[in-house]
Amino acid sequence: MSLLAVGTLAYDSIETVAAKRADLLGGSVTYFSLAAALFAKVAVVGVVGKDFKKQDLELLRAKGIDTAGVEVQDGETFRWSGRYEADWNTRHTLATHLNVFEHFDPKVPAAQRSARFVFLANAAPEIQAKALAQVSAPIFVMADTMNLWIDIAKPALLDLLRRVDALILNDEEARMLTGERNLLRAAAKALDLGPKHIVLKKGEHGAFLIGRGAHFALPAYPVEEVVDPTGAGDSFAGGFMGYLASVGTVDAPAMRRSMLHGTAAASMCVEGFGVEQLAKCTRQDVDARCAELRSIVTV
């Protein structure tokens, strides 16, 4: 079934302990759509500046990603730069330049308004809501967010959460949103805000899927060498939503398998700088990791 993702396309500059790379293709819907496209037809809505490289748009199109919803505006593309500590858990944002994304006004093309699966990548909740309002009858909507919006736009975020099926968060965001230290209680409180499913991302420690009376836990895929964790969360979301859209159902077994596919996609992502590894991998690669991960967790 059709899958739509709304969010950023960006250029990132990334420093790790081992290396430093500038102006890499990045952004939430870039990672998301490259992962989702392994499983389903995906369309993206976003905005880029005149500096956005033709070859980067072509990279997405070559994967079958529909980029008709990517608006080109006067100005520069969103830019982010950050540095990771040796343990990967500490990320320092060095600079964020919203550029053309500052006044992003999402316009979902007519052909995409019937999308059944929707991913609202991290953005101001008002922008996420504006995009969602243009989709006529979605079956399953997942939203991402970040500390900034919990801090400065909580009423709008709470309003959005009443209209989504799933919220994807990391542990810190879950605690901040709910004021609850214990992650399981934080997830339970987040369910009270509207979503039927909470996806808790714990990085190298895996992910939880929590619903009312339902709990699924999955460790991360054992990656031998992390090169760059940028985009892991959006790749997870892409594998998750892409798989769900491919099976067209959101029952409990499908949701658990979507966690497996999200985890496998995220593990591919972190093995290269930016999108380099994710853009190279095939459905067969991800399926092999899913099978391996399944065997790793089978009691």
Q: Is 257 an interacting residue with respect to its own copies (CB under 8 A)?
A: yes
- CA dist 193 and 258 (Å) reads 23
- Nearest approach in angstroms of CB 291 to its own copies is 10
Is 82 in contact with 230 (CB distance < 8 Å)? yes
Among 89, 222, 282, 288, binds its own copies (CB under 8 A): 222
How many beta carbons lie within 10 A of that of residue 189, not counting itself? 16
Site for its own copies contains 216 (CB under 8 A):
yes
CB of 262 to its own copies, least distance (A): 12
The verdict on 217 binding its own copies (CB under 8 A) reads: yes
Does residue number 190 form part of the binding site for its own copies (CB under 8 A)?
no
Give the x/- contact pattern for its own copies in 2-41, rule: CB under 8 A. Answer: ----------------------------------------
**Residue of the chain from 184, 249, 280, 283 that contacts its own copies (CB under 8 A):** 184
- Contact call for residue 225 and its own copies (CB under 8 A): yes
Mark the segment that binds its own copies (CB under 8 A) among 136-144, 160-168, 179-187, 272-280. 179-187
**Bridge partners (DSSP) listed for residue 45:** 6, 69
3-state secondary structure 134-200: CCCCCCEEEEECCHHHHHHCHHHHHHHHCCCCEEEEEHHHHHHHHCCCCHHHHHHHHHCCCCCEEEE
Taking CB under 8 A as the rule, does residue 137 contact its own copies? no
- Tally: H helices and E strands in the chain: 11, 13
Q: Largest alpha-carbon pair distance within the chain?
A: 56
Asked if 185 is part of the footprint of its own copies (rule: CB under 8 A), the reply reads: yes
Q: Any contact of residue 215 with its own copies (CB under 8 A)? A: yes
C-beta of residue 285 within 8 angstroms of C-beta of residue 268: yes
Burial 152-179 (b: 16+ CB within 10 A, else e): ebeebbeebbebbbbbbbbbebbbbbbe
For residues 127 and 293, which CB has a smaller minimum distance to its own copies in the complex?
293
Shortest Å distance, C-beta 287 to its own copies: 13
**Is 260 a binder of its own copies (CB under 8 A)?**
yes
Task: Please name the amino acid found at residue 162.
Answer: R
Q: Degrees (nearest 5) of the Cα angle 127, 128, 130?
A: 60
The residue ranges that bind its own copies (CB under 8 A) are 86-87, 181-182, 184-185, 202, 205-206, 215-219, 222, 224-225, 256-257, 259-260, 294, 296-299
